[in-house]
Chain A
Amino acid sequence: MMQFMLLFSRQGKLRLQKWYAAHQDKMKKKITRELVTLVLSRKPKMCSFLEWKDLKIVYKRYASLYFCCAIEPEDNELLTLEVIHRYVELLDKYFGSVCELDIIFNFEKAYFMLDELLLGGEVQETSKKNVLKAIAAQDLLQEEETPQGFFEDHGLG
């Protein structure tokens, strides 16, 4: 079972965090700090897997973003790399050449998409088509619901 997933920039800014096991906020911050430092200090050709406490860390860099997952000892490292890749593909397909800014400005979408791919730390749906279909259905519902405050936001309310 995946314990958590962190997305952070090369500058160490956390962009997304997903915790599949309960921790106190203080602990989450501590873990995040520790891992960001650890992963950023690694050189490009190094192994993508690390032992960390009782867990295994699997990380991969895409452009300016690091995707970092913590999995349990019996979990499969290589396949975790591909979970990350599938997630990146989904984001990419949805946003159209995803970049860090997309994730900053649409962070809630990034969370919704992750919930379709992984649930409770386990792979739920690996079909790209099915995930995107689910997200498209959500967007469709959004468009049908005329936002009441929409005009206000545009200074017309």
Chain B
Amino acid sequence: MPTVKGDGMRGLAVFISDIRNCKSKEAEIKRINKELANIRSKFKGDKTLDGYQKKKYVCKLLFIFLLGHDIDFGHMEAVNLLSSNRYTEKQIGYLFISVLIGANNDLMKLVIQAIRNDLAGRNPIHITLALQCVANIGSREMAEGLSVDIPKLLVSGDTIDSVKQSAALTLLRLLRSSPDSIPMGEWMSRIIHLLNDQHMGVVTAAASLIENLVKKNPEEYKGCVSLAVSRLSRIVTSSYTDLQDYTYYFVPAPWLSVKLLRLLQNYPPPEDPAVKTRLSECLETILNKAQEPPKSKKVQHSNAKNAVLFEAINLIIHMDSDPNLLVRACNQLGQFLQHRETNLRYLALESMCLLATSEFSHEAVKKHQETVITALKTERDVSVRQRAVDLLYAMCDRTNAEEIVGEMLEYLESADYSIREEMVLKVAILAEKYAVDYTWYVDVILNLIRIAGDYVSEEVWYRVIQIVINRDDVQGYAAKTVFEALQAPACHENMVKVGGYILGEFGNLIAGDPRSGSAVQFQLLHSKYHLCSPATRGLLLSAYIKFINLFPEIKHIIQDVLRSDNNMRNADVELQQRSIEYLQLSSITTADVLATVLEEMPPFPERESSILAKLKKKKPSSVPEGSEQKETTASKIPAVQMSNNVDIAPPTSINLMSQGESSTDDFVDQGSPQGGSASVDLLGLGSPTQPTAPSVGSGGLLDMFDTLTSHSSAPATNGIDLGGLSGGAEEAFRKFICKNNGVLFENDLLQIGVKSEYREDLGRLWVFYGNKTTFQLNAFLVDVSTPGNLSETGLSIQQKPVGGEVEAGAQVKQQFNMACVQEFAEAPVMTIQFLYSGAQQKISLKLPVVLNKYITPAEMDANTFFTRWKALNSPSQECQQIIKATSPIDHEQVKAKLIGFSVSVLEKVDPNAENFVSAGILYTRNQQVGILLRLEPNKQAQMYRLTVRASRDKVAKILCDLMQTQL
């Protein structure tokens, strides 16, 4: 047994030896249980237990705890030790409490009382113990209980230095854990002067506290800048003997230097020219010292010296104002890139990443490109290689992009699995950002897929498609390149996806060459079909239907494929649906219609690269602080939008199946959601309307075309952008104009249902959020905003709170109360945000609250109707629209719509029985508005004429606009 220091609790040492001698885990547990039983009985029975014994047993319990066992008694005995007059007993008591008593323990009040007693006593060694305990636990209760005592100790003139040190750091701990519990007081104004303290230890401790205060309120503590600069200056210009024991391996006060350099990073470069000059001199001295021969060969010397140097470089980068210093810093780091110490190479790479973002040193960093590439290839430690990747990414610009991307691609072939995905993202971003020639970009991305297909995330291949579609100069090249890439016997599924998509759009551009004729292209794609996942097959089917349009000559071959049992009767409902619908589409439509439906994709709206967003999310620190990053942080766009496939999907003409359904839903009662999910809808709209069972009847098909036309006029409904609405939101919203209940939104994660009821000018609406996943949705937030100044004038909304989490599979309900103050045209917008497995999700929907909900139907005879109709004859009271029917005109259906619109349907009023006449009263808080409506269908022309008259200006127009969406 080794010597036991100090008073030596022999019993403890014996116990520790016993434990160490245990041959097995079981024996150890047995020995521990025996000891626990012994201690328990001592604590229970032996009233005469003296302080020493208590201390010994408490210490044994502590040891047992530190071995990893639970301790559920002894806390009271430990608290008793705190009030002992013997230092060693007090000390063990405090240690036990620091390690074992959590912030919420019942005994905390007693502990705080004991601490307060010790702080009030005059014995500095007891005060120190008490402070250390507070610093170790740092609970809110302590902060509240001791918020006056500790600052007092810190600035009092008769506190000894070591107590001041502890008081400063204890106060810092409390400020960190419960900042609002510490009252600001007179001590604050005196605190920065501790930087001038005689005692280096006091300055060292105080510097950390001051930095924390400065972070919260830089203006108030501005005076610390000149104090810190002068202190720093005195240190760096001192010889190593001046500071005696605060010199560490010939480096004067490295810890204090680093703290001061960090403190200064909270401020812009000093304004006072004298201070500024002095600081520059300090930084230069530090850089000069790095060039001097080392005063010792010990690694401690070089570590301490370089620690100060790196911190100085951080400050130089932070100030970003002195080109001379920045370039010198860069040269210094360049030397470290080839240093034999791995640690220095690592730090130099990391620090250079920051230098690369400064305009002054960017060029200087680029000089080291070769070294960094060598590091990427030769470093043995993956964490260093990772830094090299980061630096290459940061130093890349238009001049060296081709080389850097080439090197990264080459390295990717052998790169560690742990960094591949990130490398893929970085290569993709650089290629896009610095592409002068987009054929190069296409090559890079296809190479990425070839080399590291598994690590190419959806964002990457979506992006290449977006870019190809938006730039017609590269489309032919892209088609040719993917065609060649697909020739490889084993190609990655991502390649098939990109290939399918691009050939489907632009295959015609290379079909002139018989080696890549239409049939060849099709056979090539189809040869991969059976090896692919259902999602990819769905995409290929869409490519096939596009081929039918591009290459009528192979229509019959493709129709055979669509007709095959493997597709038409596939177990996957989405594939089945696509096959059947595409087959129908290709069989019954004329070439003109087909060409319209399947025309080339329109360009995607320009937006931030989704890949960049993904990289930022993955590794916020690795994206240099370029302008693009600042933009996004400013606008706070969630990094990854709702659903990946939405991003790629502009209003498309090809995949409109789900669109068609959403309008048939108006006529078909909404059944329970079917199995198909939006994620299968790879090519498509990401329209989250629920897919119902395939309805290929003629009605369905017609609807399909109608939505096509109406859709192209409202492209903004697609994609999820900050200002825009989530995919399908507009269609879903429209369904609610004539009904009160149903599903408003659905995607893979969430189903949102709505129920509502209205009475005169008041309405209540319940929104049901159903979590479809098997995970909890966190930070669930719902915000409703009214466009324009609606809230002041039109609609008053009261929102009941909805809780922060939605459990897996659970549904939560939220109630809204809405009063109609006066007429309004725009529905409120609801924004739902939550975290799903760490990713921020955002859904924007229109809340289905529309003006007609506040109408109450009114009955009247023909006479009254026409009298009133004639009375409302001023132009502002009437609105008339001619509407093309979106479905065959059916009397009963139209009648149902009108009733759903909350107006009466008056029989025998209009001489023409085919016409509809309706009346209602719109209730608003301010007044009641009479509403009269006349709807004249023309079955031959498939048209309606809709006339609305209302006793208040604007109302007729609003109602007319709402009604026309329903016909």
Residues of A within 8 A of B (CB): 1, 14, 16-17, 22, 25, 29, 43, 45-51, 73-74, 76-79, 81-82, 85-86, 94-95, 99, 101-102, 104-109, 111-112, 115, 119-130, 134, 137-139, 141-143, 145, 147-150, 152-154
Contacts and interface: CB of A to CB of B under 8 A. Distances in A.
B863 to A, nearest CB: 78
A145 B7 contact: yes
Nearest to B132: A115
A68 to B, nearest CB: 15
29 contacts: A46-B342, A47-B345, A47-B383, A74-B262, A79-B303, A79-B304, A82-B254, A86-B248, A99-B2, A104-B16, A105-B13, A106-B4, A111-B95, A115-B132, A119-B131, A120-B169, A120-B172, A123-B205, A125-B162, A129-B245, A130-B162, A130-B201, A137-B125, A138-B91, A138-B125, A148-B51, A148-B52, A152-B53, A153-B10
Contacts of B327: none
Contacts, number: 196
Given A78-B310, A124-B169, A47 B381 contact: yes
A79 B255 contact: yes
Given A120-B169, A125-B201, A81 B162 contact: no
B346 A141 contact: no
Given A104-B16, A126-B255, 17 more contacts: A22-B103, A45-B342, A47-B343, A106-B5, A108-B59, A109-B5, A119-B135, A120-B170, A124-B166, A124-B201, A126-B256, A127-B200, A138-B87, A138-B91, A138-B125, A142-B87, A150-B7
Contacts of A126: 200-201, 204, 246, 248, 253, 255-256
B6 A109 contact: yes
Contacts of B244: 127
Contact of A45 (B173, B253, B380): B380
Contacts of A141: 87-88, 125
Contacts of B128: 134
B346 A142 contact: no
B52 A150 contact: yes
Contacts of B303: 78-79, 81-82
Contacts of A145: 7, 86-88
B751 to A, nearest CB: 34
Nearest to B246: A127
A58 to B, nearest CB: 9
B19 to A, nearest CB: 9
A127 B161 CA distance: 13
Interface of B: 1-2, 4-7, 9-11, 13, 16, 20, 50-53, 56, 59, 62-63, 66, 68, 70, 86-88, 91-92, 95, 99, 102-103, 125, 128, 131-132, 135-136, 138, 162, 165-166, 169-170, 172-173, 176-177, 200-201, 204-205, 208, 244-246, 248, 253-256, 258-259, 262, 300, 303-304, 306-307, 310-311, 342-343, 345-347, 380-381, 383-384, 386, 621
A113 to B, nearest CB: 11
A62 B724 CA distance: 59
Contacts of A29: 68
A124 B960 CA distance: 75
A76 B7 contact: no
Contacts of A115: 132, 136
Nearest to A58: B343
Given A106-B4, A127-B246, A14 B11 contact: no
A34 to B, nearest CB: 15
A124 B204 contact: yes
A8 to B, nearest CB: 12
Contact of B53 (A82, A94, A111, A149): A149
A18 to B, nearest CB: 9
Contact of A78 (B88, B165, B347): B347
B68 A105 contact: no
Contact of B383 (A51, A94, A109, A111): A51
B381 A46 contact: yes
B66 A147 contact: no
A120 B13 CA distance: 29
Nearest to B63: A107
Given A73-B621, A82-B307, A123-B204, A149 B52 contact: yes
Nearest to A56: B350
Nearest to A141: B87
Given A22-B138, A78-B343, A148 B383 contact: no
Contacts of B52: 147-150
A152 to B, nearest CB: 8
Contacts of A121: 173
Given A123-B255, A153-B10, A154-B10, A82 B383 contact: no
Contacts of A111: 95, 99
A140 B567 CA distance: 88
A124 B63 CA distance: 26
Contact of A49 (B201, B254, B343): B343
Contacts of B132: 115, 119
A29 to B, nearest CB: 7
Contact of A79 (B177, B245, B307): B307
Contacts of B63: 107
Contacts of B1: 105
Contacts of A14: 66, 68
A50 B169 contact: no
Q: Which of B59, B131, B201 has the largest count of A CB atoms less than 10 A from its CB?
A: B201
B300 A85 contact: yes
Contacts of A124: 165-166, 169, 201, 204-205
Q: Which of A105, A129, A138 has the largest count of B CB atoms less than 10 A from its CB?
A: A105
